[in-house]
Amino acid sequence: MSAPERRNGAPPPPEEEPPGDEEYARTYAAGYEEGVRSGLREVLQHTSRGHTAQELRILVESRLARLDEEVELKRRSLLAPPRRPAWSSLLRAPQPTRAWVPTFGGGAPPTARIGPGRSVLVREERPSRAVEILRANVHEFPRAALVSLRPPELPGVSKERRVDIVPSGSDLAGGARLSPGEIGGHLREPTEAPGGALVYVDALEYLAGEYGLELTLKFANWLVNQVETTSSALIVSFDRRSLDTRELSRLERSFHTII
């Protein structure tokens, strides 16, 4: 067939398929590039929050320790049947952050919405607004994980959907206490299960008194990182009177939203 005939509408000859090893190399390189980009973006994100070199090392070592599990979960998700996208969450208008918008005429404050990967720090003397946010969002997640000396009631949520983690109390043998590291271990299963979990914490003051401020701040940073990487969400109720201004600022820098 001549060149003029092709220009008059005849389809061009089919392109040759790349060899199998070339296609494999392209796929591998693309995956490698995305992995490197994701890792560097995560390090930059932690750096922008003011973490020290020691804190960055702890965060990176923690991520490396569970990398095999994350890769296996990713492999399984790629082999699983595709799920219908949650269009409602994509079309939902973004909510204002780092502010609690007051209402007038004696009305109650609006309830914040919290999506997967997000974290909210509620500054209050007693858990109140945080519980409201918890109850308003708990049905958006497959399960709820509550870290509290007195876990709040969640109407309409079955026992199978909630995980109560009490740092200290009669339920623990011999009056034992759960350290931040042990609490983190209990939170891994619900947050890393399909769909993640809505995590609620109102025991940071207790943990700071029992285990020290530095360890508690590192635990809070770990919590924020954990929900970011597991499609979970985090609500923390904290009395700002427990910390001085500098220490409170260190805690607040970890969270997406401050109320």
Summarize pLDDT for 210-246 with one digit per residue, the tens: 999 999 999 999 999 999 999 999 999 998 888 888 8
| Cα–chain center distance at 51 | 18
Q: Write down the pLDDT at residue 105.
A: 34
C-alpha Rg value of the chain to the nearest Å: 24
* Location of structure tokens 């994509």: 90
Report d(CA 185, CA 179) in Å as an integer: 10
130 vs 101, more confident: 130
Tell me the pLDDT band of 165, cut-offs 50, 70 and 90: very high
Query: Which amino acid, one-letter code, is at 99?
Result: A
pLDDT band at 104 (very low <50, low <70, confident <90, very high): very low
Give the confidence band of 33 by pLDDT, cuts at 50, 70, 90. Answer: confident
Task: List the single range of 2-6, 13-17, 62-66 with lowest mean pLDDT.
Answer: 2-6
DSSP letters, 124-182, are -SSSSHHHHHHHHHGGGSS-EEEE-SSPPP-TT--GGGEEEE-SBSTTSGGG-B--HHH
Whether 10 has a pLDDT exceeding 60, the answer reads no
What rounded mean pLDDT belongs to the chain?
A: 76
pTM, to two decimals: 0.58
**Of 228, 219, 229, nearest to 250 (Cα)?**
219
Percent of the chain, pLDDT > 70? 61
Secondary element (H or E) of residue 237 = strand 233-238
Q: Among all chains, which residue has been given the structure tokens 């699983």? A: 80
Confidence of residue 160 (pLDDT cuts 50, 70, 90): very high
When mean pLDDT is compared over 30-39, 176-185, 212-221, 244-253, the highest value belongs to 212-221
What is the structure's pLDDT at 55?
Answer: 63
Which residues lie across from 162 on neighbouring strands?
144
Identify whether the C-beta of residue 168 lies closer than 8 Å to the C-beta of residue 203: no
Comparing 236 with 74, the larger pLDDT belongs to 236
Band (pLDDT 50/70/90 cuts) for residue 154 is: very high
More reliable by pLDDT, 84 or 79 = 79
Look at residue 68 in the predicted model and tell me its pLDDT. Answer: 67
Query: What does the DSSP assignment read for 62-129?
Result: HHHHTHHHHHHHHHHHHHSPPPPP-HHHHHSPPPP-S-----STTPPPPPPP--TT-EEEEE-SSSSH
